[in-house]
């Protein structure tokens, strides 16, 4: 769904309380009963009036054929709540009318912020623009939709809904982004996180897939391979290291790495498979775009260039380094694991990303490519009528994956100097 902020400034305090009440009730209810909304909202005015307004503009929705009167939160409602939080904190005051990017699992917009919020260290001029990323897991239903249905009908529907997974994905990505930025990796700096969104610094560099000319192809290849190895030596595998998630400044080999929710530890059971997939995905892109054929004998290997190096670094940490010897990098996977992400949440996210990779491999699609998809969640013949109604409601939030870029005009960050912003 496209973000529409036209009504955000016109909601009353009572409307915000009712919308927040629906969100709170969604933690334990797929459909929040109307009496519970009234109880949680505690408004002085008419709850029915606020519910009518919120439903009319698509922030909440009534579920068809439900056994009781109630409403569910939509992605539009979640978007409004997240933006409202940033506005109250003074972090954001306007947003681009056109998205910067529309992907399978997220939408990205440019926002205007106070200079002191976005200014990186050492930059006296600062910046008044940043990027907001809205996670939208479950927007596209792939052909093996049964895998995804596990999240919706797995017995923990309230806790494993798409919005819940989107929130977990945003939290996870924010943790990795902070750890990587603090360790000196070329990644955006996290400014804030609210619900399923991340606010981060803006880098005016196009994705690698949009880069037409490169003055130093061997140098760019070497830099990216070094980045993959450096991540692994720090205990991390990106899991989606491709031309869509690498920004590259034109006429240089300077890159910025983005998109981290699927990142895993090198100790993960699928780490080697994901690491080799990242490496070969990058290699195929260089061959297609610039006919740069890489000698496979010279490619780094998991056992020699990752496992052995990690063991050597571990021994150095235990014994200490000698004078003049390089200090091994810190293991960032352990740092992120200690930030309070519980095992059940991590299991839910890992299952999602595993099914995502399996689907892409079956369809022969690389990480950021547009996918041929079914709209919504297709119904099996043996599904009950109630499940069909629920999935019809879910379709309201879904978009056809194969035409995402065609449906939404996106900004070219290197050419669009005058970006139309909408006040919030």
Q: How far is CA 330 from the centre of its chain?
A: 25
First and final CA of the chain: distance in angstroms? 19
Question: Which residues are paired to 267 by β-bridges?
Answer: none
412 contact partners, CB below 8 Å, separation of at least 6: 206
| Residue 112: its H or E element | strand 106-112
Contact 20, 51 (CB under 8 A): no
- Cβ count near 210 (within 10 Å): 15
Could you identify the residue written with the tokens 């519980």?
Answer: 342
C-alpha 298/C-alpha 407 separation (Å) is 42
Contact 74, 23 (CB under 8 A): no
Closest residue by Cα to residue 242 from 278, 296, 289:
278
130 contact partners, CB below 8 Å, separation of at least 6: 92, 110, 111, 112, 113, 117, 118, 191, 199, 200, 201, 202
DSSP state letter for 275:
H
Q: What is the three-class DSSP state of 175? A: helix
Q: Which residues are catalytic?
A: 240
Contact 34, 354 (CB under 8 A): no
């Amino acid at each position: 769904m496209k973000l529409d902020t036209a009504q955000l400034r016109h909601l009353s305090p009572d409307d915000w309380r009712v919308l927040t009440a629906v969100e709170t009730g969604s933690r334990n209810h797929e459909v929040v009963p109307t009496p519970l909304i009234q109880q949680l909202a505690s408004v002085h005015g008419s709850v029915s009036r606020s519910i009518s307004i919120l439903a009319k503009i698509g922030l909440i929705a009534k579920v068809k054929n439900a056994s009781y009167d109630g409403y569910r939160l939509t992605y539009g409602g979640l978007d409004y709540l997240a933006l409202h939080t940033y506005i109250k904190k003074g972090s954001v005051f306007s947003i681009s009318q056109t998205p910067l990017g529309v992907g399978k699992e997220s939408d990205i917009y440019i926002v205007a912020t106070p200079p002191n919020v976005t200014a990186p260290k050492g930059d006296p001029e600062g910046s008044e623009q940043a990027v907001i990323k809205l996670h939208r897991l479950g927007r596209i239903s792939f052909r093996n939709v049964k895998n995804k249905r596990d999240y919706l009908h797995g017995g923990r529907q309230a806790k494993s809904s798409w919005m819940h997974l989107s929130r977990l994905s945003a939290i996870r990505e924010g943790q990795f982004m902070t750890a990587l930025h603090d360790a000196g990796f070329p990644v955006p700096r996290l400014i804030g996180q609210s619900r399923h969104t991340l606010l981060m610094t803006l880098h005016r560099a196009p994705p690698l897939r949009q880069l037409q000319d490169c003055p130093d192809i061997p140098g760019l290849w070497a830099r990216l391979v070094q980045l993959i190895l450096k991540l692994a030596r720090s205990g991390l595998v990106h899991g989606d290291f491709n031309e869509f998630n690498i920004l590259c400044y034109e006429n240089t080999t300077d890159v910025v790495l983005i998109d981290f929710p699927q990142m895993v530890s090198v100790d993960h059971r699928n780490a080697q498979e994901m690491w080799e997939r990242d490496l070969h995905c990058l290699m195929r892109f260089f061959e297609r775009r610039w006919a740069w054929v890489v000698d496979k004998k010279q490619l780094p290997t998991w056992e020699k260039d990752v496992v052995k190096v990690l063991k050597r670094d571990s021994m150095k940490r235990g014994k200490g380094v000698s004078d003049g010897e390089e200090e091994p990098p810190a293991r960032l996977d352990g740092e992120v694991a200690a930030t309070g992400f519980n095992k059940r949440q991590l299991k839910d996210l890992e299952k999602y990303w595993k099914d995502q990779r399996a689907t892409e491999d079956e369809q022969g699609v690389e990480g950021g490519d547009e996918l041929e998809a079914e709209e919504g969640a297709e119904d099996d013949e043996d599904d009950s009528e109630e499940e069909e109604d629920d999935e019809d409601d879910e379709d309201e939030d879904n978009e056809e994956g194969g035409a995402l870029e065609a449906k939404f005009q996106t900004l070219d960050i290197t050419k669009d100097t005058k970006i139309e912003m909408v006040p919030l």
